[in-house]
Structure 1
Amino acid sequence: MAGAIQIFEVKTTADKKRFVDVQFALNKHDPAWVPPLKMDALELLTPGKNPWFEHGHGDLFIAVRDGKDVGRISAHIDHLWLDMPPEQGGGKDIGNWGLYEATDKDVSDALIAHAEAWLRKEGMKRSVGPISISIWDEPGLLIKGHDHSPTVMMGHHNPHYEAWIEAAGYGKVKDLNTYEVDITKTFPPLIERIVASGERNPRITVRTVNKKNFKAEAALILSILNDAWSGNWGFLPITDSEIQYVGKKLKPIVFNDLIRIAEVEGEPVAFMMTWPDLNEMQKDLNGSLFPFGVVKLLWRLNGGFSGRPTVNTVRVPLMGVKKKLQATRLASQLAFMMIEYIRSDSVKLFGATRAEIGWILEDNQGMVSIADAINSHKNRVYRIYTKDL
C-alpha cells in the first residue's frame, strides 16, 4: 500500500534541480516528449535571471511518497495579470498555478490543493491554470495532439492530466490551438492572387529583418506585438527586461529569412516571426549540453558549415498587425504576403516540409480564418482552466 503524500517547498538550488528532474522522471518513457535543456529550465525558475520575477512572485512544490519524488507544481501571482481587464481574463484576485506533473490522481489532488491553499493565503479568490509560469512561456494543458512531439516552446503533457484537473473542480476558460500546414504545396489560387495584388501596390513593402541590428529589430517587432495583441484574452505586455531576455535566449534560432516586417508607406505595421524547430535538434540531448551536446547543437543550428539548419518543421509563434488596420482587407493581404514569402524560404533555404502556426486563441476569428484559408488543420489544443477558490 502506498504511503502518505508529503508536499515540500523548494528553497535551495538543489531543490530546484530536483524540481526540474521530476519532469524528466515522469516523462522519460513518452516518445513524444522533448526534454528541455536543464539550464534553461532552471533559469526559468530563478529570480534575477528570469525577468518575470520583476512583476510576479510564487513558490514551487514537490510531492514525495515513500521517499520518491512523484509530482510537482508552482503557485504564483503575476501582478500584471491582476491589472488585466476582466473582459480579457484578468482581475485583482486571480492567481495561477503551473509547471504541473503528477504520477497519479492522488498526487495530482494533493498538489492542486496545496497550490490553491497558497493562493488563498495570498488573498486570491480565483485560480487560473496551468500557466507555466507566464502566459508567454507554456500556457495551458495539452488535451489534443499527444501522438506527436511539440515544437519549440510548446508544452507536452500526460493525457491523464485532463481528467484529473477537471475532477479537482476546474472548468475550461479558453482553448489555445495550433495549426499544421504542408508548406511544400502552394497556397490556393485566391491567396496567390491576393499576394500578387499586394506586390503591385507601391504603398506596401515586406522586408526581412537584419540580425546585425538585432536589438532594434526585436524592439520594433515587440512594439507591434504589444499594440496588435493588446485586446486579446490573456494579453500581458512584454516588459523591456523581458524583451532583452527573450531576444538573448532566442537569438540562435533567429534567421533573417524567416522573419518579415510589413510596412505601409514606410510605417512598420505588421510582422511574422518564424523559427526552425529547435526541438528537432535537441530531442536526443536529454536536457544536457555537456559533454558533447553543445557541439551537436551548434553544428545543427549552423547546418554544419552552411550557416542555417535543415529542419522538417518551422513554427510560427507570433504574428500581428497593428490595431488600426485590423479587420481591414489590407491586414489580411499583409498577412498572406508574409506567410507566402516565409513559406517559400522555409522550403527553399531550410528544407522544411511542414509548419506549425500558433498558439491561436480559439475565438480569434481573424487568425482562424487565415489558418483555414491556407488549408491548415488543427493539430494541438491547449486548455486553460479556472476555478473559484
Structure 2
Amino acid sequence: MSGLVVHEAVDKRDRLLFVRFPWSVYRENPYWVPPLVRECLAKISSAHPFYAHADAAFFIARQEGRIVGRIAAIIDQNYIRIHNSKTGFFGFFEAFSEPRIASALLETARCWLKERGMESMIGPMSPSTNDECGLLLDGFDTSPCFMMPYNPPYYASMLENFGLCKARDLYAYRIEQSLFDFRKVEILARHLQKKKPALTARPVAMASFGEDLQTVKEIYNQAWSENWGFVPITDAEIDLLANRLKPLIVPGLCLFAHWGEKPVGFSLTLPDYNIALKRLNGRAGLLGKIRFYFLARNIRSCRVMLLGVTRTFRRRGVEAMLLLETVRHALSLGYNCAECSWILEDNELIRRTIESLGGQRYKTYRIYSMDI
C-alpha cells in the first residue's frame, strides 16, 4: 500500500489524534459507544499508575497523511514476573478494513516487543486484563456494556491473517427478567441460608468506603490469582479505579460476602452507564455531566463486572450467594436485565451458576497470541 507510514504518537497532538481515531472507524456504526476523551487520554498517560510497572509505545498509521489505524505495544513487568514469561501485549487496536493496515500495525508492535526481549505477544489488552481486553467475535448488533470493548466484525480475520491464534475466549452472559426463575432463586436462597448459616452478604458501606476499599484490596489479588492472564492490581491502580467508580456505585449492587465475621468475597455490579455515555459523544464538561446523571436515572440494565471469592472459601456456596443476592437487589431496584462479564471459558463454576439462574451466553471475546 503506497504511502502507508506507521509512527509513534509522542507529543500531545498525536496522543489526541490516537484517542480520537475510533470516531472515524465507527462513524456509521449505531452500536459503538464513544468513550470519554478525557479518560482515554488518562489511560495512555505516563502518569497512569499502570505505567509504574509497564512500558508502552502508541503508534499511528497514516495513508497519504490521513490516519487509518492505531495500536499500542505494551510490556507489563508484573505480568512477566507472575507468569515467568517474556510476553508482551498489543492493545488499543483500531483500523480501517484494508488488511495491510492491520498487518503494518501488528508488525510494528511485534518488532517493538521483540527488540525489547519479548518472545511472544498476546492481545488485545488495553492495557491489561484489569481493564478492557479481548476482541468481540459475535453479538455485533448490540452495544457493549459499560467498560466492555466493541469492534467491527472484520478485525478477527485481520488478526488471524497476521498469524495470531486463539489463546482464550471470554464470555458475556445475559440474564433477562422474563426468563428469570424467581421461585428457583428463593428456594436456592433458603437452602443456602439453612445449610450455611455463617454465610451472609452485606452492601458496601458508603460512609466507611475507605475501610471497604481496603477489604477489596485484600480479597482481589487472592481471588483472581489463579485466573488465566491474571495480573495483580496495585494499590495505586485500585485507588484510581475506586475514585472513578465511587460516584457510580449503587450500594445494593456492591456486595461483600462474610463467613461469620471474615470477609471472603465481593461482587461489583454497576448500571449499564453506556446507555448514558452513548449520548455524550466523548464529552465530559459540565453540561455533559448534568446530561449523564439525568440519563443515568432511567437505566434499567446492569453489568455484574466483578465477583471474586478467596481461595479457601471457593465451592462453598459463596459465589452462588453473591449472584443470588445481586439479582434480588437488582430486581428490587427496578432493573430488568443484567450482563455478567467477562467469564473465562474454563470457569465452569461461575458459568454453571449463571446458567442455573437463567443466564444465556450471548457474546464471545477472544484473546489472541503468537510467538514473535
* TM-score tier (shorter): over 0.9
Q: Is 1:58 the equivalent of 2:56?
A: yes
- The number of equivalent residue pairs is 370
Per-residue deviation, 1:101:
0.6
**Structure 2 gaps, min length 5:** none
SS class of match (1:285) = coil
After superposition, give the CA deviation of every residue in 1:51-92 in whole Å (9 maximum; x if it has no partner). 10011011000000022100000001000110123xxxxx43
Task: Indicate whether 1:384 and 2:352 are aligned.
Answer: no
> 1:310 is matched by which residue type in structure 2?
N
In the alignment, the residues of structure 2 paired with residue 224 and residue 258 of structure 1 have an alpha-carbon distance, to the nearest angstrom, of 18
| Contact 1:177/1:358, CA 8 A, preserved across alignment | yes
Partner residue in 2 for 1:310: 298
Match of 1:78 in 2: 76
The one-letter code of the counterpart of 1:339 is L
Q: Higher mean Cα deviation, 114-123 or 2-11?
A: 2-11
Q: Does 1:143 align with 2:141?
A: no
Contact 1:58 1:75 survives alignment (8 Å):
yes
Does residue 252 of structure 1 match 2:247? Answer: yes
Matched with 2:121 is: 127
C-alpha contact (below 8 Å) 1:34/1:283 kept by paired residues: yes
Question: Which stretch has the larger CA shift, 292-301 or 169-178?
Answer: 292-301
- Give 1:266's aligned residue: 261
Q: Distance in 1 between matches of 2:41 and 2:186?
A: 45
**Aligned partner letter, 2:248:** I
Q: Does 1:118 align with 2:112?
A: yes
CA contact (8 A) 1:74 1:115 kept: yes
Runs of 4+ in 1 over 6 A off after TM superposition: none
Inter-partner Cα distance in structure 1 for 2:82 and 2:155 = 28
2:295 to 290, 297, 300: 300
Normalising by structure 2, what TM-score? 0.95
Contact 1:184 1:347 in 2 (8 A): no
- Segments of 5+ residues of structure 1 without an aligned counterpart are 86-90, 302-308
Partner deviation per Cα, 1:140-164 (whole Å, 9 max, x = no partner): 1111111100011100001100001
Distance in 1 (alpha carbons) for counterparts of 2:178 and 2:203: 21
Mapped to 2, the partners of 1:220 and 1:370 lie a distance apart of 24
Aligned to 2:176: 182
Q: After TM superposition, give the deviation of residue 108 of structure 1 in Å.
A: 0.5
Cα RMSD over matched residues?
1.6
Matched, 1:356 2:351: no
Q: Does 1:325 align with 2:325?
A: no
Instruction: Give the aligned residue type for 2:335.
Output: A
1:286-305 Cα distance to aligned partner (Å, 9 max, x none): 1012362121113334xxxx
CA contact (8 A) 1:169 1:387 kept: yes
- CA distance in 1 between counterparts of 2:286 and 2:319 reads 43
Cα distance between partner residues in 1 of 2:85 and 2:69: 29
Deviations 1:239-298 (A, max 9, x none): 110111100111121121111111111111121110011101110111012362121113
Mapped partners of 2:157, 2:150: distance in 1:
16
Query: In 2 relative to 1, CA 176–282 (structure 1 residues): closer, same or farther, beyond 3 Å?
Result: same
Q: Percent identity?
A: 32
Aligned to 1:227: 222
